[in-house]
């Protein structure tokens, strides 16, 4: 089998041992034999063929196959999942007989290499078309690979410092992926790679420069993200469609940027030294996504940005841009606009033009908006998510109620906000609005807003100026509206459920089962678990006075302990609601949660004695610093 009597005997000995061990399943042993013969292969070798072979035999085979360089010229392909083997150190001539090797794939879901070449590799592959070697230990490929026939070269996480020197004939090469090759310092001349379509170099942290790419007429995707020493982008080809250069220290874009008429996607996020965009970007009629977030020196847009007719996504959060050009109103296909200034910077308020009626997401965060224009919402009929976090307005226009598709409103940390108009019962985050005094009952949500599957709910934590009794009435009204949703059509309630969070120290009377402390022992009606039962709703009054930090990631957990009628079976159902990073300001708060997944298994017929236990989590672990003072439960029926 391996070209050596000794090796055959050792493999046969291994089979004999496994045959004795599995004497009642000799067909399995035969399948192992067949798999190894296929793997040793007369036409190729694929580790997936031997997925039924025990690890001991698998490693035994690889050891002899590679260590004693037993490869033959008949082998054309090797595919090895390195996560299934131990580390192997190849002998220099281990693959030297594989003159016809066309396909070599050494991969691992662990993103680590287990095939080492501590003494180097003397093999020369002249027929190789596909090379994928995760974490390849070779520093230079030139002595081992003749790249003329290479179609794809993928070596993510490799140790390579350079591919080869000089100009190589690369007419067949279509893809190069050297992602996370942190020792790569330069690339060779790729001018002969006229069919190269994809070049991925992200996280090549030592890469200093890239040769001119303007003649690579087939190149459509270039990824240079996290190339932390790359100060200049190369000249670019006119057919480029996707350019990623996140977290690179570039100061300007190359002159060839003007010819990128087919560019669809440009991501320059966190290019903190980039000072401006050339006016030529307005010629990119195919551009759909432009991400300039955290380009902290960027202070303006080209005036004619409205000519980008195909633009769907525009992100500028974390820049020093104060004003959106008036031409932005011409971007009729724009669906996502993210605009915001650097936190803590002195501002005099941003200037907002009218926006596209096709917008579905509008994020205007930390823009120092002192007044929301009355007509801002008149043209935003498609808006689904609106974020005005960290601004300085005192009120919102009442016309916001007309946004029939709105499912998420984020207005947290608006410290001057005093009053909210009537709002639909969607997901509303108004936490840390410390001046908020006026609040109305929530309108019944529009059905089209519910279709997006977003949590229904309201977060008013640390809105301490709100009248407690009025707040309890408003929240009770919201709970009855949620009940109406269930009564109307259970399918309309979003699967994530609903949650309410607000200052207070009393369980709403809507919860008919209540108790002091964190545990409820309830005796329910004998027929409580029937086909109309929907789920449990629960409530907890939480005290944060003893918590050492004011800012933490808190979650509420409710566990429901049930037993079957005959006492032979039991079940525990539980649900956790995480509130995110919240500043609780040492005040008691009320939390209400309702989730369709808080539902017992249908296979059990339950007793009417049920125990509910409430606890709190911090950063996804238990905490003793936050206490549940009171709790309540309500059974929800259709």
State whether 628 and 540 are in the same domain. yes
d(CA 362, CA 389): 11
Alpha-carbon distance of 619 to 596, in angstroms, equals: 24
Tell me, yes or no, whether 496 lies in a domain: yes
Residues paired with residue 46 on neighbouring β-strands, in sequence order: 79
Q: What pLDDT does 54 receive?
A: 46
- Output the pLDDT for position 5: 31
The predicted pLDDT at position 585 comes to 60
Output the domain CATH number for residue 554.
2.60.120
Measured at the alpha carbon of residue 248, what is the angle toward residues 244 and 252, in degrees to the nearest 5? 85
Torsion angle of the four alpha carbons 457, 461, 463, 465, in this order, in degrees rounded to the nearest 10: 110
Cα 497 to chain centroid, rounded: 22
CATH number of the domain encompassing residue 334 = 3.80.10.10
SS3 category, 616: strand
Nearest to 270 by CA among 241, 242, 245: 245
CA 97 – CA 481 distance, rounded (Å):
75
- Count CB neighbours of 542 within 10 A: 25
Residues 350 and 401 occupy one common structural domain: no
Last residue of one domain, picked from the residues 334, 364, 394: 364
Looking at 364, 379, 394, the residue that finishes a domain is: 364
3-state secondary structure 165-184: CCCCCCCCCCEEECCCCCCC
**Which tokens belong to 19?**
């045959």
Nearest to 387 by CA among 357, 431, 448: 431
Cβ atoms of 373 and 353 within 8 Å: the answer is no
CA-based angle 166:171:173, to the nearest 5?
90
Query: Who contacts 204 (Cβ-Cβ below 8 Å, separation ≥6)?
Result: 178, 179, 180, 181, 182, 184, 226, 227
pLDDT of residue 345: 55
Question: Do 469 and 516 share a domain, yes or no?
Answer: no
Tell me if residue 321 falls in helix, strand or coil.
coil
Please report where in the chains the tokens 């809507």 appear, as a residue.
Answer: 510
Q: Are 457 and 428 in contact (CB under 8 A)?
A: yes
Same domain flag for 398 and 354: no
Q: Decide if 535 is inside a domain.
A: yes
In contact, 335 and 342? CB cutoff 8 Å = no
- Counting Cα atoms < 13 Å in the Cβ hemisphere of 206 gives 15
Percentage of the residues of the chain whose pLDDT score is greater than 90: 39
How far apart CA 471 and CA 214 sit, in angstroms, is 63
What's the pLDDT score for residue 232? 94
According to the model, what pLDDT value does residue 19 have?
60
* 177 assigned to some structural domain: no
Q: What token pair was written down for 171? A: 């007419």
With a CB cutoff of 8 Å and minimum separation 6, the contacts of 383 are 359, 360, 361, 362, 377, 403, 405, 406
What would the two tokens of residue 398 be? 């009442």
Rounded CA-CA distance 335/357 in Å is 9
Nearest one of 403, 409, 402 to 426, comparing CA atoms: 409
Query: Counting beta carbons within 10 angstroms of the beta carbon of residue 210, is it exposed (0 to 12), middle (13 to 18) or buried (19 or more)?
Result: buried
Residues 408 and 468 in one domain: yes
Residue among 504, 505, 571, 575 at smallest CA distance from 538: 575
3-class SS of residue 506: coil
Residue 345 resides in a domain: yes
Question: CA neighbours within 13 Å on the CB side: how many for 330?
Answer: 11
CB 439 within 8 A of CB 462: no
- Do residues 496 and 389 both lie within one domain? yes
Q: How many helices (H) and strands (E) does the chain have?
A: 5, 30
Residue at 130 is within a domain: no
CA neighbours closer than 13 Å in the CB half-sphere of residue 94: 19
- d(C-alpha 244, C-alpha 203), whole Å: 12
Q: Measure the CA–CA gap between 514 and 522, rounded to whole angstroms.
A: 9
Residues 339 and 398 in one domain: no
In a domain, 616, yes or no: yes
User: Is the same domain home to 387 and 268?
Assistant: no
Domain that includes residue 463, residue range? 369-503
Task: Please tell me the distance from the alpha carbon of residue 531 to that of residue 173, in angstroms, as a whole number.
Answer: 62
Residue matched to tokens 């903190």: 272
Taking the alpha carbons at both ends of the chain, their separation in whole angstroms is 69
Q: Give the Cβ contact number of residue 505 at 10 Å.
A: 14
From CA 533, how far away is CA 635, in angstroms rounded?
7
Identify the pLDDT of residue 616: 82
Q: Are residues 403 and 452 in the same domain?
A: yes
| Residues 531 and 621 both lie in one domain | yes
Among 313, 347, 364, the domain boundary falls at 364
The pLDDT assigned to 177 comes to 97
Would you say 623 and 537 are in contact if contact means Cβ atoms under 8 Å apart?
A: no
Pairing of strands 385-387, 361-365: parallel
pLDDT value of position 549:
58
Residues of the chain with confidence (pLDDT) below 50: 1-11, 39-60, 63, 67-69, 348
* SS3 (DSSP) at 243: strand
Residue 191 lies in a domain: no
For 486, phi and psi rounded to 5 degrees?
A: -70, -40
Mention every residue, 6+ apart, whose C-beta is less than 8 A from residue 104: 77, 78, 125, 128, 130, 131, 132, 133
In sequence order, the β-bridge partners of residue 295 are none
Please give the C-alpha separations between residue 398 and each of 377, 403, 440, 591, in angstroms, as whole numbers: 10, 11, 11, 28
Distance CA(461)–CA(556), nearest Å, equals 14
246 alpha carbon, distance to own chain's centre: 16
Q: For residue 469, count other CB atoms closer than 10 A to its CB.
A: 10
110 contacts: CB under 8 Å, gap ≥ 6 = 82, 83
Closest CA to 619 of 575, 576, 577, 580: 580
Q: Are residues 565 and 520 in the same domain?
A: yes
Do both 546 and 459 map to the same domain?
no
| pLDDT tens per residue, range 209-241 | 999 999 999 999 999 999 999 999 999 999 999
Determine, yes or no, domain membership for 526.
yes
Question: Bridge-partner residues for 458, per DSSP?
Answer: 428, 500
Tell me, what's the pLDDT at 7? 37
The total number of structural domains in the chain stands at 3
User: What predicted TM-score, i.e. pTM, was given to this entire model?
Assistant: 0.81
């Amino acid at each position: 089998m391996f070209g050596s009597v000794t090796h055959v005997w050792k493999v046969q000995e291994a089979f004999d041992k496994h045959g004795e061990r599995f004497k009642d399943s000799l067909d399995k042993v035969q399948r192992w034999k067949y798999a190894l013969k296929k793997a040793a292969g007369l036409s190729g070798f694929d580790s997936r063929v031997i997925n039924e072979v025990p690890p001991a035999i698998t490693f035994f085979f690889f050891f002899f196959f590679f260590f004693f360089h037993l490869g033959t010229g008949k082998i054309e392909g090797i595919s090895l999942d390195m996560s299934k083997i131990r580390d192997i150190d190849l002998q220099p001539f281990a693959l030297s007989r594989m003159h016809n090797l066309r396909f070599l794939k050494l991969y691992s879901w662990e993103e680590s290499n287990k095939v080492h070449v501590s003494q180097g590799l003397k093999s020369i592959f002249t027929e190789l078309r596909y090379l994928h070697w995760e974490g390849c230990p070779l520093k230079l490929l030139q002595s081992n690979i003749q790249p003329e026939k290479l179609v794809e070269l993928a070596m993510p996480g490799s140790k390579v410092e350079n591919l080869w020197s000089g100009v190589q004939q690369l007419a067949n090469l279509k893809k190069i992926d050297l992602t996370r090759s942190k020792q790569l310092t330069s690339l060779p001349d790729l001018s002969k790679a006229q069919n190269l379509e994809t070049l991925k170099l992200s996280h090549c942290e030592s890469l200093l420069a890239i040769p001119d790419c303007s003649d690579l007429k087939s190149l459509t995707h270039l990824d240079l993200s996290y190339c932390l020493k790359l100060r200049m982008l190369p000249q670019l080809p006119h057919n480029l469609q996707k350019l990623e250069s996140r977290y690179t220290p570039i100061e300007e874009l190359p002159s060839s940027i003007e010819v990128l008429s087919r560019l669809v996607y440009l991501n320059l996020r966190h290019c903190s030294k980039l000072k401006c965009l050339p006016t030529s970007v307005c010629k990119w009629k195919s551009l759909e996504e432009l991400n300039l977030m955290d380009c902290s020196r960027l202070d303006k847009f080209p005036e004619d940005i409205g000519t980008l007719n195909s633009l769907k996504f525009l992100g500028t959060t974390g820049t020093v841009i104060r004003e959106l050009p008036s031409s932005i109103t011409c971007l009729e296909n724009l669906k996502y606009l993210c605009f915001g200034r650097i936190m803590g910077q002195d501002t005099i308020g941003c200037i907002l033009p009218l926006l596209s009626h096709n917008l579905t997401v509008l994020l205007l965060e930390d823009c120092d908006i002192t007044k929301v224009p009355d007509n801002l919402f008149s043209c935003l009929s498609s808006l689904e998510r609106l974020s005005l976090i960290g601004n300085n307005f005192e009120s919102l226009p009442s016309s916001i109620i007309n946004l029939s598709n709105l499912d998420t409103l984020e207005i947290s940390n608006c410290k001057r906000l005093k009053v909210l108009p009537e709002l639909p019962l969607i997901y509303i985050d108004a936490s840390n609005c410390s001046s908020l005094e006026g609040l109305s009952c929530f309108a019944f949500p529009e059905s089209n807003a519910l279709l997006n599957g977003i949590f229904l709910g309201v977060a008013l934590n640390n809105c301490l100026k709100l009248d407690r009794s009025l707040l309890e009435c408003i929240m009770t009204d919201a709970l009855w509206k949620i009940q109406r949703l269930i009564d109307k059509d259970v399918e309309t309630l979003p699967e994530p459920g609903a949650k309410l969070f607000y200052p207070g120290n009393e369980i709403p009377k809507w919860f008919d089962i209540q108790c002091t402390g964190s545990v409820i022992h309830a005796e329910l009606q004998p027929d409580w678990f029937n086909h109309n039962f929907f789920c449990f709703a629960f409530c907890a009054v939480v005290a944060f006075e003893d918590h050492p930090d004011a800012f933490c990631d808190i979650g509420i957990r409710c566990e429901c302990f049930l037993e079957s009628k005959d006492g032979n079976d039991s079940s525990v159902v539980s649900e956790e609601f995480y509130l995110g990073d919240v500043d609780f300001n040492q005040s008691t708060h009320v939390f209400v949660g309702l989730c369709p997944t808080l539902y017992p298994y249908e296979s059990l017929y339950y007793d009417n004695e049920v125990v509910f236990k409430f606890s709190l989590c911090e950063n996804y672990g238990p905490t003793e610093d936050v206490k549940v003072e009171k709790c309540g439960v309500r059974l929800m029926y259709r």
